[in-house]
Structure 1
Amino acid sequence: MHLQLDGKGPLHAQLTRALKGVMLTGSITRGARLPATRLLARELGVSRNTVLAAYEQLRAEGFVAARVGSGSFITPPLQPASGLAPGAPAVLPPQSEYARRARKYHDHAAMPGRATPGMRYAFQYGVPYTNPALTSAWARELAHAAAYTQPHYPQTQGLPALREAVCDYLARRRGVQTTPDDVLIVTGTQQAMAVTARVLLNVGDTAVVEEPHYTAMREVLQIHGARVHAVDVDAQGLVLDDLPEPPPRLLYVTPSHQFPTGVVMSLSRRLQLLDYAQRHGCWVFEDDYDGEFRYDAQPLAALRSLDRSGRVIYVGTFSKVLFPSLRLGYLVMPAGLREDYVTAKWQEDFGTSAIEQSALAHFMESGGFERHLRRAGRALNERRSALLKGLRDALGERIAIADSRAGMHLVTWLRDYDSAQGERLIARGRELGLDLFSIAPYYQRPPDRLGLLMGYAGMSVGEIEQAVGLLARCIEETRER
């Protein structure tokens, strides 16, 4: 019997898969006797216990039957897998409307902002500020939480200690007054939008996103079944005069630091948006993803702090201020929809990991979180300043910088570069080990000019200076061509 082990995992599991493969492809027939365990072990160069374990697994799954004194025999009515190679799944049509929409609107392999392997430098947005002190502190918090957290299922709404810490943080930092009863702990902004769509939207309802926008939020809404309408952003934020008729059910906005342009929604525009939502019975989803870091003044108060009619659903995340792998965020619910939101969260995953929640609650209560924010703010300001200086010194009038004086990235527009020239520039950068990221994927209607989304949190000041030098070289070379 010819068996090919795949080298993945324990030997007994590899042998089990190999035996299934020859059975399912018809290489051996029903009723055939498997080789004796000692003989097969000798042929494959493995221990007899490995073969015994594989045979026992096949018996447990009903593939073979053991006969005392005779050996193991194949039992199922096996048929070749329609000419497919072992393990090659047939591509089936979507089995539900949800799956059909998911295939239509989302391509996991084409998600924007992913780094190219092997690059020396990458202006990648979403890469966290790395801080060894944070890593050590978080390891201690996790160890303590793991030792003292109860082993049963976590509360669906989130641990009371973390919800209280979030309330205290929002009141001090973002001007949002709320109670722990109105806070829902989620795994991030993506889940916050998913449960919001379940609670507020029917299939076919209209939702508005900014143009440009965070594409994941648009896709969540589209996969849910909403009709998504992108409305332009100007220097003051969402252009309310362009809102569709009839009024949308939900508006997704990033008012404190618009993604990706960095625009801050003006006070007058905020008040107009709240008035519009109250008059038309709309809901406003406020994504405050980068509100903590501002470099010229105190962080602006959140849109939710101005809301007097209860139409704003406020969402924040710890992914950017700590690290994305944490997968923790929070949502301030409308009090009248609290039960609906908690039920939607329960349906998603029962509740978020209690160990990480407990660790984060203690980190916030002890002052470690605030210390990290201050340290990160100083470091990010240094990196931002280095990037701005490098761009201005190296490129001068050839670029226009949209500096929002906040967050962890800025947008640079290259003068006289259309989309095709931009693609050549990005390709040349990768040849030299520099990963550049176009702003175009964040538009439904991309402009025919090159804008670069330049994240600076993941590089040191020295690396930023080197990367800017490479960018200048790429621009010179592509202009010459």
Structure 2
Amino acid sequence: MYLPLDGRGPLHGQLVRSLKDAVMTGRLPSGLRFPPTRLLAQQLGVSRNTVLAAYEQLRAEGFMQARVGSGSYVAMPGAPVQPRSEPPQRVAPQSAYARRLRRYHDHAHMPGRRVPGALHSFQYGVPFTNPLLTSAWARALSHAAVYTQPHYPTAQGLPALRVAVCEYLSLRRGVHARPEDIVIVTGTQQAVSLTARVVLDEGDEVVIEEPQYFAVREALQIHGARLLPVPVDGEGLCTDLLPERPPRLICVTPSHQFPTGALMSLARRRALLDYACRHDCWIFEDDYDGEFRYDAQPHAALCGLDDSRRVIYTGTFSKVLFPSLRLGYIVAPPGLRDDLISAKWVDDFGSPAIEQAALAHFLADGGFERHLRRTAKTLKQRRDALLGSLRRLAGDAVDIDDSHAGMHLVVWLRDRNVAQGEAFIAFAQSRGLGLYSILPYYFEPPARAGLLLGFGAMSVAEIEEAARVFAVCLGEMDWGSVG
């Protein structure tokens, strides 16, 4: 405890004044336990009798209350602590990196945040949380805490987790990797950041999908890359529109394009791999939720078709388990593996070991597979509820892009432009419904109004009620008032 003594008069008097000031200014709030006299005497370098005398005076004046067998407590409320007021200071960016941070990222206005005050919200990017997962994960963590070594983990990741990831990828995604190829990271965002540092110089060109995931786009822009958007259609990235002058890196989400939901066709996958091989460029494959397909057999990952080892494959457990886990992985091409491991070491020395060990155990003992099966069944029920409700209630007013995968749908407002779409989102919010525009994911705004409707975090009953409110808003909206 920090207690300055003013040097005036007896030590116990100085201590009384310091403790009173701490109580009156709120630094010692009402009900807080005072330190034991022996401990405080040791901390201040005074005799215990000095502290005893000070405590006795504080009790006499009503500042302290003694509780038998428990200790002494602050007995009266003081004024709340007022932090020192300093005028806000806005300095010029101190580096090129800081200039790009300010240009491309606005932390206060990121897409996808929950709409304030919404009774029902189609918030996307929020995964389904299985209640059974909580107890299973608690057991895995408890087991890992006992057996995990307390020293720094290896930067590449715990061997047990890398082995478990390889087995999982071979079974689920058709990727045959070796444990030495795996680099454990905190998620997709760190994976793209490390990749940018390893393969890009400032000013290098990167092909990115149009539309695309904003966080990957911003990470590349902040790194200093020059982005070349290439359109996406129903078969994924339009490989016939790849630039003649090859980029250094191509970023794709082939198994479930974000945000459109398109699945890249086999022909385009082969065309993309051939392009990368011929032009000596790298592919960053973001397989963020390839586990969840509802009406079709999951396709093998692009990395599983890659014979030339040009694909930097990344996946995350945040979407299939829970976002706070912050664990994912990179399957590193042999030529980049050591550089990626070194970049990870520089970034944070390695991901938390106890969580890695718990996840390895969860994967190895079948808990993860059981979780995936339960989650996929529940998500299909919720997706079907949303599709059925929209088709029944919204009818001809919307067009639905059904991707047969993931945890969101893209819904287009038929015959409505972008301005009308933004006005409709505001109108729905006034009726307690949270809606989300597709606009932030485009470099060039689309010609029509599009929405991302997430269903992962909503029950079937909530989905049906939210869809009803959605339809009511469509009918009540004054479309003619918006140009």
How does the TM-score come out when normalised to structure 1?
0.85
* Aligned twin of 1:248: 247
**Residues 247 and 281 in structure 2, CA contact (< 8 A), matched pair in contact too:** yes
Q: CA offsets, 1:294-323, max 9 Å, x none?
A: 111221100111111111111100011101
Q: 1:183 to 1:392 in 2, by over 3 A?
A: same
Q: CA offsets, 1:446-479, max 9 Å, x none?
A: 1132111011000000000000011111111114
Matching of residues 37-186 of structure 1 within 5 Å = 37-42=15-20, 45=23, 86-186=85-185
Determine if the alignment matches structure 1 residue 419 to structure 2 residue 418.
yes
Count, aligned residues: 430
Return 332-341 or 257-266, whichever deviates more: 332-341
SS where residue 309 of structure 1 aligns?
Answer: coil
Shift of 1:348: 0.6
SS where residue 438 of structure 1 aligns?
Answer: coil
CA distance in 2, matches of 1:304, 1:294: 18
SS where residue 299 of structure 1 aligns?
Answer: coil
Shift of 1:32: 11
Shift of 1:240: 2.1
SS where residue 219 of structure 1 aligns?
Answer: helix
Q: 1:437 to 1:44 in 2, by over 3 A?
A: same
Shift of 1:101: 1.1
CA distance in 2, matches of 1:377, 1:388: 16
Shift of 1:155: 0.9
Return the letter of the residue paired with 2:111.
P
Return the letter of the residue paired with 2:359.
L
Shift of 1:86: 2.2
Shift of 1:39: 3.2
Q: Which runs of 5+ in 1 are unaligned?
A: 1-11, 20-30, 60-83
Q: 1:233 to 1:88 in 2, by over 3 A?
A: same
Return the letter of the residue paired with 1:163.
R
* Aligned twin of 1:363: 362
Q: 1:203 to 1:33 in 2, by over 3 A?
A: farther
Shift of 1:425: 1.3
Q: 1:38 to 1:103 in 2, by over 3 A?
A: same
Q: CA offsets, 1:343-377, max 9 Å, x none?
A: 00001100000000000000010000000000000
SS where residue 222 of structure 2 aligns?
Answer: helix
* Aligned twin of 2:391: 392
Shift of 1:102: 1.1
CA distance in 2, matches of 1:224, 1:33: 58
CA distance in 2, matches of 1:420, 1:226: 31
Return the letter of the residue paired with 2:16.
R
Shift of 1:428: 1.8
Return the letter of the residue paired with 2:277.
Q
SS where residue 177 of structure 1 aligns?
Answer: coil
Q: CA offsets, 1:251-294, max 9 Å, x none?
A: 00000110000000111111110110001001000101111011
Q: 1:33 to 1:409 in 2, by over 3 A?
A: farther
CA distance in 1, matches of 2:282, 2:21: 68
SS where residue 330 of structure 1 aligns?
Answer: strand
Determine if the alignment matches structure 1 residue 265 to structure 2 residue 260.
no
SS where residue 446 of structure 1 aligns?
Answer: coil
Identity over aligned residues, as a percent? 61
Q: CA offsets, 1:39-63, max 9 Å, x none?
A: 354466457979x999x9999xxxx
Q: Which runs of 5+ in 2 are unaligned?
A: 46-82
**Residues 7 and 14 in structure 2, CA contact (< 8 A), matched pair in contact too:** no
SS where residue 255 of structure 2 aligns?
Answer: coil
* Aligned twin of 1:467: 466
Return the letter of the residue paired with 1:447.
P
Return the letter of the residue paired with 2:402.
D
Return the letter of the residue paired with 2:167.
D
CA distance in 1, matches of 2:418, 2:354: 47
SS where residue 185 of structure 1 aligns?
Answer: strand
CA distance in 1, matches of 2:129, 2:95: 42
* Aligned twin of 1:200: 199
Return the letter of the residue paired with 1:116.
V
Return the letter of the residue paired with 2:429.
R
| RMSD between superposed Cα atoms in Å | 2.5
CA distance in 2, matches of 1:32, 1:446: 69
Structure 1 runs of 4+ aligned residues shifted over 6 Å read 31-35, 47-50, 56-59
Return 380-389 or 469-478, whichever deviates more: 469-478
Determine if the alignment matches structure 1 residue 238 to structure 2 residue 243.
no
Return 31-40 or 132-141, whichever deviates more: 31-40
Return the letter of the residue paired with 1:462.
A
* Aligned twin of 1:220: 219
Return the letter of the residue paired with 1:274.
L
**Residues 166 and 179 in structure 2, CA contact (< 8 A), matched pair in contact too:** yes
